[in-house]
Structure formats: C-alpha cells, structure tokens
C-alpha cells in the first residue's frame, strides 16, 4: 500500500500540490491523457524543474489561450459526472468541488445551486484540482495525509474585492474538517481555497509512520523570503514506533492512531479511507525527480503490512462479542478474537481485536462501532512475516476435505484439515470428528500437491 503525506511547510495551492506529484514521478503525458476526458480546450500544462532557495523542485503553470465560459457548481458537477474520468478521480474531484460549493453558499448566503465559481471555475483551477485527484490515483496512492496548514496573513484581491487572509471560503473549508492551522510567516494568501478543498476531501491531518521511498517538491508562482512550496512524501506504512524510538521526534511525530476516534472519520465518504486497487501508471525507471524510481517489491519476500484494530469492552455479553467477531470476519478481517481483561475498579472486561489489510481499517472500525457498545476504536500498523499457504483437497470415504498447508521456501511444514469440512461430514455420517481428521491426513499422503498454487490469505 502506498501512502502520500503532504508536508505543507509554506501553505498549499492546487498547482503546488500537482507540481509535487509530478516531481515525485508522475508522468505529465499520462496525466494529460486522463485530463483529456474533460470537455476543456484552450489550455496547455507547462511543467518545469527549477531551483528556488537552493532547493530543486517542480513548478507548474496552466496556460490558457482561449476565452473560457463562466462556470457554476451545477455546470462543473455535470462536467465531472458525465466525464470518462477514472472512478476514484471523479469521486474525489466531485467531493472537493462540492465542499467548495457548500463553503461559498454559506459565505454568500445563497443556495448551493446558485453558486458561481470565479477564480475556482477558471480552467487552470479545474485542471489543478482534477489533476491532483488523477495524479494520486495514477501513482497508486491509497491513503493521503497532510500536515498542519500555514494560512498567511494580510489581504487578497478577489472578484468580490479585497478579503482577509485566509479567504472566507478557505477558512470555512478548514473549519468543516477541524483542520489544524498555523500562523503564516508570509504576507498574502499562501493557502488557496482549491488546495483547502482538496486536502479536506482526500487527506487526514496527521503524520503517518512511513517508510519513505520518494519525495517531490512543488513550488508556487511567487517568490518569498523563504521557500514558497510544499513537498510530498510517498512510501509505505511503517510499523508503529515504540515510545522510546519516537521520543526523539517530540510531538511533531503525530501518529494517526494517536488521534481521538472522531478524527478518523471526519469524512465518511472519503475514498482515501476505502479499499481501492489503483493502477501504478506514471512510474518509470530512470525518471527525473527527487529520489530513485519506485520498486513495486515494497518489502522482503513474505513480509506484509497489516493493521490491528482493538477496543476494550466492560459492559457487554459474550454473545455480543461472538456476534461482533462473526461480522468482522464476514466484512473481510483476516482474523478476529477476544481476550479477557481486568479493567478499572476490578471490573471484568473483554478486548475485541481483529487483523486486516490497512485498506480495511475504516470499514472494520465501523463494524466494531455498530455492533458493540464501545465509544472508540484504536488501531496500529505493523509488519509480519507470512508463510505461504495453500488449500489441498483430498477424498475421504465420507467425502472431500480441504487441508490448509503452511509452506516456507516451498517446503510444506504443516497440513491441517479444515474444521468446517470435517464437522459437516461427521454430522452427516455420525462419525467421530477426530476420525475424519486423521483419515484426511492419511489420504493426503497419496495426493500429489502442486506447490505453485499458493494462497496467502488468512
């Protein structure tokens, strides 16, 4: 699983976000083919690698050479819904523009359908916003995070005259997701509404434990006394740091599972929290950018990144816990279990836990919250060494039984009959369960096994 973390050290703008993805390896030609699904003409994307304040990175400009019509939220929504954009790109872009429309409607006290986009409705802003959504999908990014956001100071010129920084729409977008903000060192608008809408829609505001594989810098159009840009860190989840190893990082190291549980779900429709298998087009060996090209072999053979979700219960019954475990397994957890606890004031309790792919965190947390009395769910990423597994069917005198085999370096270490198969036959023929077990193992000795057919699921 790939993660992107936007380090917005000097604010953010749509062109800066997109430039950072291009600097991190996104191919402009591939991006342009995706953007061609939009009914937009009369523009060209210019991408340059530049040096600013002795740091190399990318700067992007959308050049418009044809007059463009005024666009409303309704017209942009229709454009996106009817386009042939990839599903996740379209969903993210619609979500970001919807947030913008809601913010503008609130600020101007008009219905959403009456909202007219001015700067945001310009073709360059549409290309920036949709381009970032497409770039994240093209790079195979499954979860997005962002740092606290500097907001600048002073005034900004708009179609409605001069407005205070941050612009009212920007501030409304940030407030809607309880985004963390920082005082701006620079005069002027360093955080634009389009960037605020994008990050509110796709990102969690936290710094994840991350094994960094690539870094991209995106620079803004203006020059300041300090570096005007942001950077994207791209990599894979890292197992949770211990308190000792994280201590040197101070409180700048904010793990997503250190946040209150409500922060994990500030956007229930956020596609970055849902399992998606995104293509990895756009990464080629030998590309320019800050860092080596990606290697799709993210870890050593047999090593997997998993997530463990947990909650403590002291006011429920065994039946409720058993049912919750059943629902977690049905929802896609690799495994689920319960452990007895002694809680405060000596009360007996139960810890409910499950193991799953990190892309399943949101779905499984919802199951736990819905099926138990818990007020919150915590989780952490970790790494595990996973043996190869395969299913082998054997024919017994009572019927077929599957055996689950554990392999290491293509060598079979154990073979265990599947309980459900054995139990069904034992009930049907009124035969002792252990007799089915031992017979299945005996039958395996005469079965040829193809070791190339492996299954690494739980």
Tens digits of residue pLDDT in 352-398: 999 998 888 989 999 999 999 999 999 988 878 888 888 899 999 99
How many residues in the chain? Answer: 458
Question: In the structure, how many helices (H) and strands (E) does the chain have?
Answer: 12, 20
Could you tell me the sign of the dihedral formed by the alpha carbons of 166, 7, 47, 187, in that order? positive
Residue pair 133/89 in contact (Cβ under 8 Å)? The answer is yes
Residue pair 139/25 in contact (Cβ under 8 Å)? The answer is yes
Alpha helix ranges (H) inside 289-432: 318-331, 361-371, 419-429
Domains, the chain, ranges and CATH? Answer: 2-273 (no CATH), 303-385 (3.30.70.1380), 388-444 (3.10.20.300)
- For the entire predicted model, the pTM comes to 0.56
Pairwise CA distance, residues 305 & 236, whole Å? 9
Nearest to 350 by CA among 381, 323, 384, 383: 323
User: How many Cα atoms sit within 13 Å of 405 on the Cβ side?
Assistant: 25
Pairwise CA distance, residues 21 & 28, whole Å? 10
> H/E element holding 303?
strand 303-313
Local structure of 148: helix, strand or coil? coil
Going by their DSSP bridges, the two strands 181-182 and 141-146 should be labelled as unpaired
Q: What is the pLDDT along the chain (458 residues), one digit of tens a residue?
A: 899 999 999 999 999 999 999 999 999 999 999 999 999 988 999 999 999 999 999 999 998 887 777 788 888 999 999 999 999 999 999 999 999 989 888 887 787 776 767 555 478 889 999 999 999 999 999 999 999 999 877 877 776 678 888 888 899 999 999 999 988 777 788 999 999 999 999 999 998 888 999 999 999 998 888 899 999 999 998 753 333 333 333 333 333 333 333 333 333 333 333 333 333 333 333 343 443 343 333 333 356 778 899 999 998 999 999 999 999 999 999 999 999 999 988 889 999 999 998 888 989 999 999 999 999 999 988 878 888 888 899 999 999 999 999 888 788 889 999 999 999 999 999 999 999 999 999 998 876 555 444 444 44
Question: What token pair was written down for 174?
Answer: 């940030």
Local structure of 166: helix, strand or coil? coil
Residue-level pLDDT at 279: 35
The set of residues, in sequence order, having a beta carbon less than 8 Å from that of 44 and lying 6+ positions away, is 62, 63, 65
CA distance between the termini of the chain: 18
Q: How far is CA 131 from CA 351, 422, 428, in A?
A: 44, 54, 60
Tens digits of residue pLDDT in 317-341: 999 999 999 999 999 999 999 999 9
Residue pair 383/326 in contact (Cβ under 8 Å)? The answer is no
């Amino acid at each position: 699983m790939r993660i992107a973390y936007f380090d917005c050290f000097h604010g953010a703008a749509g062109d800066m976000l997109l430039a950072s993805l291009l600097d991190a390896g996104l191919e402009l030609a591939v991006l342009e083919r995706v953007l061609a699904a939009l009914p937009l003409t009369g523009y060209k994307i210019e991408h340059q690698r530049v040096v600013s304040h002795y740091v190399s990175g990318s700067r992007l400009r959308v050049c418009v050479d044809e007059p463009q019509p005024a666009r409303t939220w309704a017209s942009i929504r229709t454009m996106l819904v009817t386009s042939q954009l990839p599903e996740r790109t379209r969903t993210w872009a619609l979500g970001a523009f919807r947030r913008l429309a809601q913010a503008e409607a609130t600020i101007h006290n008009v219905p959403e359908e009456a909202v007219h986009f001015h700067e945001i409705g310009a073709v360059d802003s549409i290309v920036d916003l949709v381009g970032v959504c497409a770039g994240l999908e093209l790079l195979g990014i499954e979860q997005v995070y962002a740092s606290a956001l500097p907001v600048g100071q002073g005034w900004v010129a708009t179609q409605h005259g001069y407005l205070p920084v941050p612009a009212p729409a920007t501030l409304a977008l940030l407030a809607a997701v309880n985004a963390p903000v920082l005082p701006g060192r620079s005069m002027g608008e360093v955080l634009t509404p389009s960037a605020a809408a994008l990050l509110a829609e796709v990102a969690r505001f936290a710094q994840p434990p991350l094994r960094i594989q690539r870094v991209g810098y995106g620079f803004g159009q203006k020059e300041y006394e300090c570096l005007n840009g942001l950077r994207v860190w791209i990599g894979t989840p890292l197992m949770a740091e211990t308190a000792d190893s994280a201590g040197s990082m101070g409180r700048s190291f904010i793990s997503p599972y250190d946040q209150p549980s409500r922060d994990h779900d500030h956007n229930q429709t956020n596609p970055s929290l849902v399992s998606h298998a995104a293509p990895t087009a756009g990464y080629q060996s030998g590309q320019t950018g800050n860092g080596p090209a990606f290697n799709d072999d993210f870890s050593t053979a047999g090593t997997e990144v998993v997530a463990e979700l947990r909650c403590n219960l002291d006011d429920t019954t065994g039946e409720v816990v058993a049912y919750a475990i059943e629902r977690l397994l049905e929802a896609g957890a690799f495994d689920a279990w319960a452990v007895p606890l002694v809680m405060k004031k000596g009360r007996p309790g139960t810890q409910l836990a499950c193991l799953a792919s990190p892309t399943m965190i949101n779905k499984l947390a919802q199951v736990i919250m819905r099926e138990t009395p818990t007020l919150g769910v915590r989780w952490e990423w970790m790494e595990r060494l996973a043996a190869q597994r395969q299913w082998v069917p054997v024919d017994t005198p009572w019927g077929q039984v599957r055996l689950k085999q554990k392999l290491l370096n293509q060598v079979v270490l154990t073979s265990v009959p599947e309980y459900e198969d054995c139990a069904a036959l034992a009930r049907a023929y009124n035969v002792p369960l252990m007799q089915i077990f031992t017979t299945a193992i005996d039958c395996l000795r005469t079965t040829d096994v193809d070791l190339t057919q492996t299954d690494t699921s739980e």
